[in-house]
């Protein structure tokens, strides 16, 4: 599933190309929209200018006429003047009475043309309801580009006389050609820009991901058991530099942890071996001594040399037994815990550092506090955490999804560390024996881990307890004072 995802480089490349394409489409759309709005405003203003000029000319004729200024005399008043006005202003217009019937047209003949002889009732209603007594109607039959404006004109005393009709055609053929030519040129420009963007996106994505790929390769090569090289990048961005610095710091901490872990494991191995050897050697000592003493008592008195032989044999065995006891005591003394090093530690940092040696991705660490200062031996604290986590890992069967949560927090004057798992849990029968030496439910190991942890924690006046549900998991709780 993860292999089907696009790489960061591919996504950067695609996003940059999409940005250019979307920008070009938006600019083209905005250009067309702006053109249409400007075209509408131009034709609206042009129609209004024509109407204003016509009204001015008609008012002049009405003032100069000798005919009564009545609707029924409009045909006589504008009998010849309508042609003069139309010719002078280069505008065709029609005059209707207030009922919507055609009175006079600027066209000489209208028998075969498309002039409307009567204004529709709907148009008259719209005109009369308009506060400005002006209405523009689009002629859908002839196309949206054909419009007719209707205006009620009055005499000098503001008495309505008739309706002025101005047919108008929105001729955008020239502007449309210019718009198409502009869009074609814009398309060429964006095509060139797209090619430039492709090349630019390729090199930019390659440059950005080059540093990340270097870091990724280094992380894949990182191993706990070998010396890891730090990353050196010149000219990297601030974000990548921070990432590189974090990686290099992690390498330093990892090497320090590896050294401490190796030393801790060697010491622990020796201690455990010493305890086991001491245990195995001391067990047969008493029976051997008793056997020899019994043999001393059962000698053959008739043998003239029996006393000498028994004495020599006994002395030899007793001497070897004492030697073995001395060796066992020496190993046992070696296995004692080393002297404490009371250090003021940031418990959150040390615990997090101890978890770095584990590669299992189901181990998580949480702490609400970034810093909890307490007195403890760093090596012994790491040993406590690693042993508890190892036990948690070994308690989880392979048949379920593992989960281990390590938590550090403070409560009053105490520091608390919890290690919770979802393993098999501890039965009620085994619960009292958990901290006993040599008790273990595992097929390997000597059962010294938890007793050793308990001894370390109690040395610092702390305690270790646990809660467990069989089949659901166990939580170990370590508590010790800050000072």
Residues in the chain, total: 483
pLDDT value at 468 more than 80? yes
Same domain, 294 and 402: no
Q: Quickly tell me which residue has 């044999």 as its tokens.
A: 313
Query: For position 266, what pLDDT does the model report?
Result: 61
The mean-pLDDT minimum among 94-108, 123-137, 319-333 falls in: 319-333
- So what's the pLDDT on residue 22? 86
Give the count of beta carbons closer than 10 Å to the beta carbon of residue 365. Answer: 16
**Residues 19 and 52 placed together within one structural domain of the fold:** yes
State the Cα–Cα distance between residues 456 and 436, nearest whole angstrom.
14
| Dihedral over Cα of 14, 16, 22, 25: its sign | negative
Q: What residue has token string 């281990």? A: 404
Cβ contacts of residue 428 below 8 Å, gap of 6+?
A: 470
Give the model's confidence band at 295: pLDDT under 50 very low, under 70 low, under 90 confident, else very high: low
- We report the CATH number of the domain holding residue 67 as 3.30.450.20
> Do 397 and 474 have their domain in common?
yes
Please give the share of the chain, as a percent, with pLDDT higher than 90: 13
Residues 20 and 151 in one domain: yes
268 in any annotated domain: yes
Which CATH number characterizes residue 381's domain? 3.30.565.10
Average pLDDT taken over every residue of the chain: 78
pLDDT at residue number 408: 96
Say if CB 381 and CB 412 are below 8 A apart. Answer: no
Domain-ending residue, one of 175, 197, 212: 175
Query: What own/partner pairs with CB < 8 Å and gap ≥ 24 does 45-49 have?
Result: 46/168, 47/136, 47/147, 47/149, 47/166, 47/168
Between CA 31 and CA 134, with CA 44 as vertex, the angle to 5 degrees is: 145
Question: pLDDT for 325-363, tens place per residue?
Answer: 655 654 554 455 556 678 899 999 999 988 988 888 899
What angle separates helix 449-459 from helix 378-395, to the nearest 10 degrees?
A: 150
Q: Are residues 302 and 248 in the same domain?
A: yes
Say if 157 falls within a structural domain. Answer: yes
The CA distance from 388 to 419, in Å, is 7
Model's pTM, two decimal places? 0.38
End-to-end CA distance of the chain: 51
Report the C-alpha gap between 204 and 12 in whole angstroms. 8
Question: Would you state the pLDDT for residue 441?
Answer: 65
**Domains in the chain, number:** 3
- 105 shares its domain with 166: yes
| Dist CA 111 CA 103 (whole Å) | 14
Tokens of 49: 């200018």
* Model confidence at 20: pLDDT above 90: no
Is pLDDT above 80 for 27? yes
Q: Are residues 9 and 152 in the same domain?
A: yes
Query: Is the pLDDT confidence value at 263 over 80?
Result: no
Residue with structure tokens 């054909």? 146
- Tell me what percent of the residues of the chain surpass a pLDDT of 70: 67
HEC string of the chain?
A: CHHHCCCHHHHHHHHHHHHHHHHHHHHHHHHHHHHHHHHHHHHHHHHHHHHHHHHHHHHHHHHHCCCCCCHHHHHHHCCCHHHHHHHHHCCCCEEECCCCEEEEECCCCCCCCCCCCECCHHHHHHHHHCCCCEEEEECCCCCCCEEEEEEEEECCCCCEEEEEEEEEECCCHHHHHHHHHHHHHHHHHHHHHHHHHHHHHHHHHHHHHHHHHHHHHHHHHCCCCCCCCCCCCCCCCHHHHHHHHHHHHHHHHHHHHHHHHHHHHHHHHHHHHHHHHHHHHHHHHHHHHHHHHHHHHCCCCCCCCHHHHHHHHHHHHHHHHHHHHHHHHHHHHHCCCCCCCCEEEEHHHHHHHHHHHCCCCCEEEECCCCCCEEEECHHHHHHHHHHHHHHHHHHCCCCCCCCEEEEEEEECCEEEEEEEECCCCCCCCCHHHCCCCCCCCCCCCCCCHHHHHHHHHHHCCCEEEEEEECCCEEEEEEEEECC
Q: How many CA atoms lie within 13 A of 417 on its CB side?
A: 29
Q: Is the pLDDT of residue 415 over 70?
A: yes
Sequence-distant (6+) residues with CB within 8 A of 466 are: 426, 434, 474, 475, 476, 477
Range(s) of the domain holding residue 301: 238-334
Query: Are 317 and 244 part of one and the same domain?
Result: yes
Query: Are residues 134 and 265 both part of a single domain?
Result: no
Q: Are residues 379 and 253 in the same domain?
A: no
Identify whether residues 379 and 283 lie together within a single domain.
no
Same domain, 275 and 408: no
For residue 385, the model assigns a pLDDT of: 92
Last residue of a domain, one of 308, 334, 360: 334
Looking at residues 358-377, what average pLDDT do you find? 91
Q: 126 lies in a domain?
A: yes
pLDDT at 309: 64
List the structure tokens of 405.
């949560």
Residue 349 lies in a domain: yes
Report the 10 Å Cβ neighbour count for 312.
11
Specify the range with the lowest mean pLDDT, choosing from 73-82, 163-172, 248-257, 369-378. Answer: 248-257
The answer to whether residue 194 sits within a structural domain is: no
Domain termination site, one of 125, 158, 175: 175
Across the range 372-387, mean pLDDT stands at 90
Spatial neighbors of 385 by CB under 8 A, at least 6 apart, are 351, 354, 355, 406, 417, 419
Provide the sign of the torsion angle of the four alpha carbons 10, 16, 17, 22, taken in this order.
Answer: positive
């Amino acid at each position: 599933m993860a292999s089907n995802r696009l790489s960061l480089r591919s996504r950067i490349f695609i996003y940059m190309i999409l940005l250019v394409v979307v920008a070009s489409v938006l600019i083209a759309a905005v250009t067309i929209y702006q053109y249409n709005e400007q075209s509408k405003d131009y034709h609206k203003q042009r129609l209004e200018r024509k109407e204003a000029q016509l009204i001015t000319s008609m008012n002049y004729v009405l003032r100069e006429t000798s005919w009564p200024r009545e609707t029924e005399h409009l045909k006589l008043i504008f009998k010849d003047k309508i042609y003069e006005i139309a010719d002078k202003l280069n505008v065709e217009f029609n005059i209707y009475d207030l009922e919507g019937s055609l009175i006079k047209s600027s066209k000489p003949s209208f028998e075969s043309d498309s002039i409307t002889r009567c204004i529709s009732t709907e148009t008259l209603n719209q005109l009369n309801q308009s506060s400005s007594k002006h209405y523009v109607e689009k002629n859908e039959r002839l196309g949206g580009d054909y419009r007719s404006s209707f205006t009620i004109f009055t005499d000098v005393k503001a008495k309505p006389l008739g309706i002025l009709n101005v047919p108008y055609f929105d001729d955008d053929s020239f502007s449309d050609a210019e718009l198409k030519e502009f869009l074609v040129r814009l398309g060429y420009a964006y095509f060139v820009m797209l090619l430039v963007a492709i090349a630019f996106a390729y090199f930019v994505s390659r440059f950005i991901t080059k540093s990340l790929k270097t870091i990724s390769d280094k992380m894949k090569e990182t191993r706990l058991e070998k010396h890891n090289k730090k990353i050196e990048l010149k000219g990297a961005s601030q974000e990548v530099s921070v990432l590189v610095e974090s990686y290099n710091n992690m390498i330093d901490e990892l090497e320090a942890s590896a050294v401490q872990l190796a030393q801790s494991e060697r010491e622990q191995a020796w201690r455990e071996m010493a305890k086991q050897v001491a245990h195995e050697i001391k067990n047969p000592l008493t029976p051997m001594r008793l056997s020899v003493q019994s043999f001393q008592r059962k000698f053959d008195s008739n043998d003239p040399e029996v006393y000498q032989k028994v004495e020599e044999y006994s002395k030899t065995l007793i001497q070897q037994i004492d030697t073995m006891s001395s060796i066992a005591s020496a190993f046992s003394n070696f296995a004692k815990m080393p002297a404490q090093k009371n250090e003021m530690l940031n418990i959150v940092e040390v615990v997090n550092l101890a978890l770095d040696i584990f590669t299992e991705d189901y181990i998580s660490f949480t702490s609400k506090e970034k810093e909890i200062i307490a007195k403890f031996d760093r090596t012994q604290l790491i040993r406590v955490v690693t042993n508890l986590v190892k036990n948690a890992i070994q308690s989880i069967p392979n048949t379920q999804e593992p989960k281990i949560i390590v938590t550090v927090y403070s409560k009053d004057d105490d520091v608390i560390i919890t290690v919770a798992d979802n393993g098999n849990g501890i039965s009620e029968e085994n619960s009292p024996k958990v901290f006993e030496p040599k008790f273990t439910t595992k097929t390997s190991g000597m059962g010294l881990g938890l007793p050793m942890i308990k001894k370390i924690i109690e040395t610092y006046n702390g305690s270790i307890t646990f809660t467990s549900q069989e089949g659901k998991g166990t939580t170990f709780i370590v508590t010790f004072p800050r000072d």
